[in-house]
Structures are given as structure tokens and as C-alpha cells.
Amino acid sequence: MSGNGNAAATAEEDTPKMRVIRVGTRKSQLARIQTDSVVAMLKALYPGLQFEIIAMSTTGDKILDTALSKIGEKSLFTKELEHALERNEVDLVVHSLKDLPTVLPPGFTIGAVCKRESPYDAVVFHPKFVGKTLETLPEKSVVGTSSLRRAAQLQRKFPHLEFKSIRGNLNTRLQKLDELQEFSAIILAAAGLQRMGWQNRVGQILHPEECMYAVGQGALGVEVRAKDQDILDLVGVLHDPETLLRCIAERSFLRHLEGGCSVPVAVHTAIKDGQLYLTGGVWSLNGAETMQDTMQTTIHVPVQHEDGPEDDPQLVGITAHNIPRQPQLAAENLGISLATLLLNKGAKNILDVARQLNEAH
């Protein structure tokens, strides 16, 4: 009997173990849903691999009594996850792309930009105001948003409303809206509500003429160690060429402006007939001053998996070996050109004043 037992044990040892890929994520329900969606795509592509999800809290999840723009930390929702990557505790991390700074810490890169969902902002109304729009809300109604970008644009567009900071994950914010009598409505990213299955709460979608969106909004980014070629190859197939090019242009615009959470900067991009269009704007904190413009560049949306040069440096933190280099460079240059145009028109002054006022409050 004992001989058979040993033989079984040896056979088990000889069976190759499935390789386990460890995936880091924030603990919030939305972060978990987003990570699960990326892992599901990877599982379908690599049935021979196992994936283990490791959830952790970030600084941004812990500091809930302060407006994001006041905390003064660019990597609020990413730092702890990057530490885990650095210590080799995880192999890749799934983020909302808009949470990833345009300059990543050395040693990291965005190895995949997944297909974008709606980049727009959505308005969720207090139950007693269902059926209203921002325009038809009563005078001095309070609207909650955690974003200076939204507040600046909407104050300009809807001067009869008051805007107040609201923090917490999606569940917490909706609870605050429904249970406290403080807010008539709150503004959230449409993509987040969609992913949570809460489309029925959306009372109004804000289109770019009312409120342009944040850089990278609606897209997911997969962050990896820059030198981990194996994992880079593994996740690189998730790049969506159109989303990638739009987000390179947006991130390049923001980086060149030196914008971040503490100043109101917004964008709108589109690809049509081989042209990439980028509209970008900056606002004063109260929305009274603004500067916006649109530029375009010729771009041929590449077919995925074309071979590109192997030694590509990153563009605005993104590595995409399997997408041709030329359209990526054109997208990056478009962002730089539009930022330069606005800076030459005086955008720096608007941003500097916004930054100072935000820090002083």
C-alpha cells in the first residue's frame, strides 16, 4: 500500500503546476468589478494560467474627509499598489486610467489600455428631483462632486447651482445623496455607474459642450513593472488601438500643461476618417475664466498585433509594443501642440491662480 502512495505522490510532483499571475486592485466594489473584467479577458486568452486577485486599501481610500484636490498627492489611489508591484507581491495592477499620473515612478509602465467605456459624466438626482435636469433644479440647489474640473465647468454653465465636495466610493456617495437632505444631485463618471449596474440611477448624461471629461476617463489601465517583458507581452494584447491613441493625446496634453487633481483641466477626443481630434480646456476654480481649443492630426488607427520596434520607450507612461509607433507619436505630439497653444495664449496664468487658490482654501 505504502509503495502505491509514494508513486501517487511522485506523479503529483511531476504534474506541472499552473503558473499563477497575481493581480493587485483597490478594495472598493467598483475596483473589484473592473479588475474582474480584466482578469476575465486574460483568462479567455490564457486558459493555461491561473489568476489570483489581491485587494488592498490606498491613501485615497483612507482619507475621506478631505477634497481630493487638497491632499496634494498625485498617486493617491496608486501608491500602495505600486509598492506591492515593486516588492514583487503582485505581477500587474488594474487601475482606472484617470487615477494614473502622467509621469509614473521609475520602473513602472502602463502595459495595456483597455477599450474605453463612456468617458462622460453623469448626474444622479436625489429621489425627490428625479425627472429634473441640472438646468431645471431649483435655485441654490447643492450639487456634490469630488472634482474641481466638474465644479468649474458646471458653475460656469449653471450659475444658479451651488457645488460642494463629496467624497467616498460610489456606494458611499449614493448613500449620502439618498439619505442626507444635503445634496439635490451628485456628478459621477458614467462608466463607473455602468460597471456597477446602476444605469437606472442616471438622470442626465453631460456631453462635452456642458462638461468635458477627465483625461483617461472611462478607460482601464494595467500597470506592470517596466522591465518585466513576460508580463508586458501577456497584457499587451489587451490594448485597444483607438482608446490607446486617444488617451496618449489626452495624457500628453495634461502632462505638458502640468495639470493634475489640483487644477481644472478637461478634454474631449474623437477619431473620425483617419483624423484624431483633441479638444482641451483649462478653467479658473469658479469657472469664470476659461481657455479652450481644438486641434487634429492625421492618424491611421492601426490593426492590433502589427510588429513594431522592440525598444520602444514609454509615451506618457504607456508601453505598446504591438501597436505601430507612428500613430502613437502623432497622438503624443497632438497633445503637446494643443497644450503649447493654450500656454501661449495665457493658460499658465489661469492654472497658477487656480493652484494657489486651491492650496489657500
Catalytic annotation, residues: 99
With vertex at residue 71, the alpha carbon angle to CA 346 and CA 183, rounded to the nearest 5 degrees, is: 90
User: How far apart, in whole angstroms, are the C-alpha atoms of residue 179 and residue 82?
Assistant: 36
State the amino acid at position 188 in one-letter form.
L
- How many other CB atoms are found less than 10 A from the CB of residue 335? 31
CA distance 298 to 117: 24
Inter-residue contact 312 to 325 (CB < 8 Å): yes
Show the cell assigned to 243: 482608446
* Alpha-carbon distance values, 39 to 52, 84, 186, 314 (Å): 9, 18, 31, 24
Residues whose CB falls within 8 Å of the CB of residue 151, separated by 6 or more in sequence, listed in order: 145, 163, 264, 285, 287
CA distance 322 to 233: 9
Query: 230 vs 227, 235, 289, 297, 349, CA distance in Å?
Result: 9, 9, 48, 33, 45
Task: Sort strands 162-164 and 142-144 into parallel, antiparallel or unpaired.
Answer: parallel
Residue 206, Cβ density class (10 Å: 0-12 exposed, 13-18 middle, ≥19 buried): buried
Tell me which residue of 80, 81, 265, 60 sits closest to 167, measured CA to CA.
60
Query: What residues contact 180, with CB distance under 8 A and at least 6 apart?
Result: none
- Residues 6 or more apart whose CB falls under 8 angstroms from that of 262 comprise 69, 70, 72, 148, 354, 355, 358, 359
